[in-house]
């Protein structure tokens, strides 16, 4: 008997998975058994929902929302503002010139109001802004079209527009490399400054694209404590444990070594124990997929290299990591 993860962790946090219109079919049984929270991996991103100005395409996002709600799952909305997967029309006028902040805010408000209102009462929280913080250097913000045109203000406006469109949805700032000290402090500083200006931020999303060794458990703990000290809730939003270190580009494996599989099990064990310790602040733990037959890591950071980041294998069978995590 395979215990449903969502039951095992019921007292602690929701268990989620990122899906597509394809995987809600191909991975349906696993999803229905084990998760009670759903994120669209791609189909709620700007380029999918409003590929041309004023032309909204909701069919596939609707399909995902319908799947979730008819299986007693909640939906995490991902994502309203991001530097990637945003159509170029957003930033240009009819003459092909980069627009100014007023028009940017107008378009931003139109997008957020339309999307957030459509899913009011159906999407319980939104990643309002994704990955706005710079990875390196002294600058707080990543250089992007958004920050070039509007500095910090695009972030503030996004949260204000989202709150206005659905006062009941939880609003999150979401980022990666969130547990490394340097970036952790920048994310902390950003969210702190937003809160000081009464910008409605309810939570921080820790993407948690991690490897077998990094970040260390201690770094993860410190990140959780630091973010929680702001009084916001935390979601683990995109969890996967890559079999490869970020800089390791080897692509000679057709299956993971036994050593990798064991190490991954131990790592998942430690991570979930830690999450449980902090389950008063961590309210949702979402995987960026559910089983090893489909993961974005098959193409990132190395193209066409198989990876095996989840608790279930390519045949949807529980891996050693699953058995560690489910003995709660
Ligand atoms: C995430 N970025 C995004 O939030 C998600 O929307 C996407 O599907 C996959 C991963 C992680 C990331 C990145 O975009 C660039 C460099 C490192 C990590």
Taking only the tens place, the pLDDT of each residue in 26-74 is: 999 999 999 999 999 999 999 999 999 999 999 999 999 999 999 999 9
Q: Is 176 in the pocket of ligand 1 (CB under 6 A)?
A: yes
Question: Across the chain, where does the E strand assignment appear?
Answer: 14-19, 37-40, 74-81, 123-130, 170-175, 203-206, 209-211, 233-242, 282-287
Concatenated DSSP letters for 233-296? Answer: EEEEEEEEEESS-TT------SS--HHHHHHHHHHHHHHHHHHHHTTTTEEEEEESSSBTTS-G
Among protein residues, the one with the nearest Cα to ligand 1's atom 11 is 176
pLDDT > 60? residue 272: yes
Among residues 131, 164, 182, 218, which one is catalytic? 131
Percent residues over pLDDT 70 in the chain: 100
**What is residue 82's predicted lDDT score, i.e. its pLDDT?**
98
Which atom of ligand 1 lies at the shortest distance from residue 45's CA? 6
Pocket test for ligand 1, best of 48, 211, 300 (most atoms within 8 A of CB): 300
Question: Does residue 164 carry a pLDDT above 90?
Answer: yes
Q: Provide the pLDDT for residue 328.
A: 56
58 lines ligand 1 (CB under 6 A): no
pLDDT band for position 232 (cuts 50, 70, 90): very high
Nearest protein Cα to ligand 1, atom 17 = 176
Q: Which of 41, 78, 131 to mutate to test the pocket of ligand 1 (most atoms within 8 A of CB)?
A: 131
Q: Residue 327 — very low, low, confident or very high, per pLDDT cuts 50/70/90?
A: confident
Is residue 132 pLDDT above 60, yes or no? yes
User: Whose C-alpha lies nearest to ligand 1, atom 15?
Assistant: 176
Question: Residue 306: what are its φ and ψ, rounded to 5°?
Answer: -65, 140
Q: How close is the Cα of 226 to the center of ligand 1, in Å? A: 22
pLDDT at 110: 98
Residue 133 pairs in a beta bridge with 141
What pLDDT was estimated at residue 160? 99
Known active-site residue 131: yes
pLDDT, tens digit, for every residue of 252-263?
Answer: 999 999 999 999
Smallest CA separation from ligand 1 atom 7, residue: 41
The residue whose CA is least distant from atom 13 of ligand 1 is 176
Residue the block writes with tokens 């770094």: 219
185 is a catalytic site residue: no
Q: What pLDDT sits at residue 129? A: 99
Query: What's the whole-number mean pLDDT along residues 197-208?
Result: 99
Cα dihedral across residues 162, 163, 164, 165: positive or negative:
positive
Q: How far apart are CA 211 and CA 91, in angstroms?
A: 35
From the candidates 238, 245, 277, 314, give the one annotated as an active-site residue: 238
Is residue 150's pLDDT more than 90?
yes
Distances (CA, A) of 72 to 31, 34, 75, 181, 320: 11, 12, 10, 37, 28
Residue ID of nearest Cα to ligand 1 atom 4: 130
Say if ligand 1 is within 6 A of residue 180 CB: no
Alpha carbon of 189 to ligand 1 centroid (Å): 21
Handedness of CA 2, 287, 112, 299 (dihedral sign): negative
Statement: residue 199 has pLDDT above 70: yes
The answer, as to whether pTM is greater than 0.95, is yes
């Amino acid at each position: 008997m395979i215990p449903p993860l969502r039951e095992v962790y019921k007292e602690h946090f929701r268990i989620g998975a990122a899906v597509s219109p394809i995987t809600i079919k191909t991975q349906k049984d696993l999803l229905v058994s084990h998760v009670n929270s759903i994120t669209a991996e791609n189909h709620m991103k700007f380029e999918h929902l409003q590929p041309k100005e004023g032309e909204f395409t909701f069919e596939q996002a609707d399909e995902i929302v319908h799947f979730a709600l008819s299986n007693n799952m909640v939906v995490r909305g991902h994502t309203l503002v991001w530097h990637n997967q945003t159509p170029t029309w957003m930033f240009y006028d009819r003459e092909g010139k980069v627009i100014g902040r007023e028009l940017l805010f107008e378009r931003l408000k139109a997008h957020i109001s339309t999307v957030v209102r459509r899913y009011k009462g159906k999407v319980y929280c939104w990643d309002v802004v994704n990955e706005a913080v710079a990875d390196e250097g002294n600058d707080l913000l990543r250089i992007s079209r958004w920050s070039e045109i509007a500095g910090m203000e695009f972030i503030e406006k996004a949260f204000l527009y989202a709150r206005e469109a659905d006062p009941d949805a939880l609003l999150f700032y979401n980022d990666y490399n969130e547990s490394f000290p340097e970036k952790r402090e920048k994310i902390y500083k950003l969210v702190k400054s937003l809160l000081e200006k009464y910008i409605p931020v309810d939570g921080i999303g820790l993407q948690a694209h991690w490897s077998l060794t990094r970040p260390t458990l201690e770094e993860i703990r410190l990140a959780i404590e630091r973010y929680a000290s702001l009084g916001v809730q935390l979601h683990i939003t995109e969890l996967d444990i890559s079999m490869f270190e970020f800089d390791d580009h080897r692509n000679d494996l057709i299956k993971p070594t036994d050593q990798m599989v064991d190490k991954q099990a131990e790592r998942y064990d430690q991570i979930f124990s830690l999450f449980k310790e902090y389950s008063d602040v961590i309210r949702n733990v979402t995987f960026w997929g559910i089983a090893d037959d489909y993961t974005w890591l098959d193409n990132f950071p190395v193209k066409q290299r198989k990876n095996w980041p989840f608790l279930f294998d390519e045949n949807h069978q529980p891996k050693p990591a699953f058995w560690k995590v489910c003995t709660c």
